[in-house]
Amino acid sequence: MYIPFDELPQHARLWIYQASRPLTEAEQSEIKPLLERFATEWSSHGKGLKASARLLYSQFLVLANNESETSASGCSIDKSVHFVKELEQRFSISFFDRTQLAFLKEGEVEQVSLSDLKSKVAAGEIKQDTLYFDTLVNTYGELQASWPRPAGASWLAKYF
């Protein structure tokens, strides 16, 4: 069952996928109904999930489920991964490259390779207060309260 994204409860579980590039307006227009359809049909052991999905900052695909209603099982999570992989093929984009980190700089999403992170920190290009899109955020409440969050308040704190 589809729930509008803005109506998710604070404890709703999230899965965030970072695209390898910003999606064009045309791609976003094409993807949005696919996301709604997936969230509507997403189920766990035959029971419909109370789910939602949204694109954020033209570069992040967020799937969500109200876990207090029905928990996502391993099979339903596999279905979501399969769906995201289908989007990758259809739009010639990657959503699974964990070697790219995304920061918000001057209102734009900037991707930085994990291998370049130390040198960017040393050069002062990335600081503790640089906003980081932490794809490890687990709940809708966290997303609303602190996403993007200062890099120093994320798992990247060890680099400062």
pLDDT tens across 46-98, in order? Answer: 778 899 999 999 999 999 999 877 777 788 889 999 999 999 999 999 999 99
How many domains are contained in the chain? 2
Sequence-distant (6+) residues with CB within 8 A of 5 are 52, 53, 54, 62, 64
Q: Which domain holds residue 146?
A: 100-159
Separation of first and last alpha carbons in the chain: 43
Report pTM. Answer: 0.92
Query: What is the chain's length?
Result: 160
Structure confidence at residue 72 (pLDDT): 78
Are 108 and 84 in the same domain?
no
Does one domain contain both 117 and 145?
A: yes
